Structure 1
Amino acid sequence: MVITRVLVAGCGDIGASIATNWAEKGAHVSAVRRTGTDFPEGVSGITADLTNISPSQLPDVDLIYLIMTPQGRTEQAYRSAYVDTAKALESRYAKEDQKSTPKLIFVSSTSVYGENQGEWIDESSIAKPQKDTAKCLLQAEQILSDAFGACSARCSGIYGPGRYRLIEKVKSATEWGINSWTNRIHRDDVVSGLMLLGERLLDGAAQENKTSPLPHIILTDDTPVSMWEVKLWIASRIGATVNAGDGCDFIPQSGKRIQANYLKECGWMLTYPSYVLGYEQLLLEKGEVVR
């Protein structure tokens, strides 16, 4: 029996869940994190900066997940986290014959789509980033696509356990500002989508699917929604004051509406298809008064 070898490059919240799931499937899993030694059970941990690691520290593998978090919102922070890391993995693993190169999934962002007037976006849309940080993401995608034939999983805004920023904003006295279209996905659904994608890449099903939009797919829930709608719902559940401001227009003035099609065609089922189910769970977890 051939044992699958998986490397999770970036063992944070989502990476740790990916590593655990593959280990439970019987895979030999290695994981890298920049600091700390808290790795999931059954996972071989490596504490190192991927941009400054000895190639001998990285094992031979069949599948790589690259799941980085930049240390800031600047262009340089994104370049270091994504572009420099992509080049480091290319140096270690890429071979002239891509068939002998590991499969790679890069967790990217829907920010690479620069549309901002309520347009609908799906996997057939062309990425035209406007922000410098998003341009760094697209550059990393291209490096990894050229070197590995990688698939970039473009995630919308990720929320879930321990991520209370929006709830805290609604509770504060801060005025809500201009309304916009927003897109999000629960971290549990990110994990399940990435697991399914990895399985398909390994068994070759993705390449055989003539309708596949690879080298990129989208991970988002079924409910593009205005930011104010989400804030109004949260406010109604916790009894917070509505801070929309006087004379404000409830019609979204910016943003985009995003659809995920490819993984659904592969059988991906969302646990949290809308913000209502996901934030209800978060409010219970946080101990807020649900009204």
Structure 2
Amino acid sequence: MRLMIFGAGFSGLAISRTLTGECAFAGGTTRSPERFPALQGAGLVPFIYEGGTPPEDVDAALGETTHLVMSISPDAAGDPLLQAFATGLRLAAPKLEWIGYLSTVGVYGDHDGEWIDEETPCRPVSKRSVARLAAEDGWTRLAAEAGVPLAILRLSGIYGPGRNALKSMHEGKARRLIKPGQVFNRIHVADIGGATALLARRRLGGIYNVTDDLPAPPQDVVSQAARVMGVEPPPEIDFETAELSPMARSFYGENKRVSNAKIKTVGYSFLYPDYHTGLDALYSDGSWQK
């Protein structure tokens, strides 16, 4: 396997930590040389990519790539790699055997708290989710033209080392916002790495929800973090009167319970099937602070 990860951020590094030991080569892109040590620490050869046509070193790596992971969010102009590969993916990556595209459960939009799965029609609400769905469609066309299996991983709210409710509690930033009936799914970043690795190894295509077993109100996660740390939770705050940024408030406009049954049917077993096990593990090994 020769792996290339475009956008080796929080999720990309988790994927690399899971897969690089199996790779003859593993590379990853970032926008800043300051992040090179983080990529190298996860087993990646670092490259700079800032959008548009890939530079010569990235282009050369693509020429040998067998497994491509795309983890760069679309911007106002759309997905940067879709534009770069507009003339054909096979020209840029002639040895490609599999593509993984990291998307979001936000593409489903609001379903009033009902259970949904990969067959549920998408009706995205926010501009960022509309852009994600457009990128999914673009990658689907590109992969079909190249004859390469494409796995679209729709991710729920990501947490893990250094990005979690325990750290928010410790820093005094956690809030228990109450919006009756509101639920979210979550996913530990290690399970993003594990699920992507399984799909890559088996060269599986299709759409997969990569999300936990326990959709729950957001205030319950904060309360659980407080219990794990042995401290009092912050007071409850009414969502309607809370001071929130437009982006933060927009997340509460989507209410759904997302099923992960499909990824399980192809053999994935979640390391952290709910936020209880995830937070417990983060606190036990101290990685919540990283």
Give the TM-score, by structure 1 length.
0.77
Amino acid at match of 1:47: I
Alignment of 1:141 with 2:136, yes or no, is: yes
Residue of structure 2 equivalent to 1:83: 79
Residue of structure 2 equivalent to 1:45: 46
Contact 1:87 1:143 (8 Å CA) reproduced: no
Contact 1:8 1:66 (8 Å CA) reproduced: yes
Residue of structure 2 equivalent to 1:31: 28
Identity of aligned residues (%): 22
By how many angstroms is 1:56 displaced? 6.1
Aligned counterparts, 1:207-246, within 5 A: 214=206, 216-237=207-228, 238-245=230-237
Residue of structure 2 equivalent to 1:265: 265
By how many angstroms is 1:131 displaced? 1.1
By how many angstroms is 1:185 displaced? 0.6
For residues 255 and 52 of structure 1, the distance between their equivalents in structure 2, rounded to whole angstroms, comes to 38
Equivalent of residue 70 in structure 2, options 66, 71, 74: 66
Query: Residues 229 and 276 (structure 1 numbering): CA distance in 2 closer, same or farther, change over 3 Å?
Result: same
Contact 2:162 2:288 (8 Å CA) reproduced: no
Aligned residues: 261
Q: Deviations over 1:177-196 (max 9, x none)?
A: 42410100101111000000
Residue of structure 2 equivalent to 1:16: 13
Q: Deviations over 1:188-232 (max 9, x none)?
A: 11100000011121xxxx36xxxxxx1x11100111112222222
Query: Residues 167 and 44 (structure 1 numbering): CA distance in 2 closer, same or farther, change over 3 Å?
Result: closer
For residues 28 and 151 of structure 1, the distance between their equivalents in structure 2, rounded to whole angstroms, comes to 21
Q: Which has the higher contact order (CA 8 A, sep 6+)?
A: 2
For residues 107 and 148 of structure 1, the distance between their equivalents in structure 2, rounded to whole angstroms, comes to 14
Aligned counterparts, 1:173-192, within 5 A: 174=175, 176-179=177-180, 180-192=182-194
Q: Provide the aligned C-alpha RMSD in A.
A: 3.2
For residues 93 and 137 of structure 1, the distance between their equivalents in structure 2, rounded to whole angstroms, comes to 19
Alignment of 1:277 with 2:283, yes or no, is: no
Residue 181 of structure 1 aligns to a residue whose secondary structure is coil
Contact 1:101 1:148 (8 Å CA) reproduced: no
Aligned counterparts, 1:98-113, within 5 A: 102-113=97-108
Amino acid at match of 2:223: L
Contact 1:94 1:147 (8 Å CA) reproduced: no
Contact 2:112 2:254 (8 Å CA) reproduced: yes
Residue of structure 2 equivalent to 1:211: none
Query: Residues 228 and 116 (structure 1 numbering): CA distance in 2 closer, same or farther, change over 3 Å?
Result: farther
Query: Residues 29 and 162 (structure 1 numbering): CA distance in 2 closer, same or farther, change over 3 Å?
Result: same
Contact 1:55 1:92 (8 Å CA) reproduced: no
Gaps of 5+ in 2: 145-149, 241-251
Alignment of 1:196 with 2:179, yes or no, is: no
For residues 21 and 87 of structure 1, the distance between their equivalents in structure 2, rounded to whole angstroms, comes to 29
By how many angstroms is 1:19 displaced? 2.8
By how many angstroms is 1:29 displaced? 1.7
